Amino acid sequence: MIKILLFADLQEKVGKPELELKLEQITVEELKSELQKIYPLINLESVMTAVNEEYAMADDAIKSGDTVAFIPPVSGG
């Protein structure tokens, strides 16, 4: 089970702040494209990814039990 936290406008577009996916292992990039398939409205292209509160790269592996956060940069000021 991988826990996914959605921030800012992702939360709104998916309709909830958290998801759980039954997965054993997957890379960050693969997870992004999986989600993109389920929720075509969201845009994960320029989103930052944290795995267990650490910055993660596209080919980092995510394992069952990990918590992934997708953080869209916001631009206002």
Partner 1 sequence: MVDRYSRQMLFKPIGEDGQLKILNKHVLILGCGALGSANAENLARAGVGKLTLIDRDYVELSNLQRQQLYTEKDVHEQVPKAIAAKKRLLEINREVNIDAYVLDATPISLVPLLNDIDIVIDATDNFDTRLMMNDLLQKYQIPWIFGSCVGSTGMSYTILPKETPCLGCLLDRAPMSGATCDSVGIISPAVQMVVAHQTTEALKLLVEDKDSLRTNLVTFDLWNNYYHTMNVERAKKENCPTCGENPSFPHFSGEVSTKSEVLCGRNTVQIRTGRKVNLQELANRLQYVAPININDFLLSLEYESYRLVFFHDGRTLIHGTNSIEKAKTIYYQLAG
- Report the residue from 43, 61, 64, 65 that binds partner 1 according to the rule CB under 8 A: 43
The amino acid present at 17, given as its one-letter code, is P
74 binding partner 1? (CB under 8 A): yes
20 binding partner 1? (CB under 8 A): no
Question: Strand, helix or coil at 53?
Answer: coil
57 binding partner 1? (CB under 8 A): yes
| Window contacting partner 1 (CB under 8 A); options: 19-27, 30-38, 41-49 | 41-49
| Window contacting partner 1 (CB under 8 A); options: 19-27, 30-38, 39-47 | 39-47
CA distances from 62 to 3, 52, 54, 57 (A): 10, 10, 12, 11
Q: To which H or E segment does residue 12 belong?
A: helix 8-14
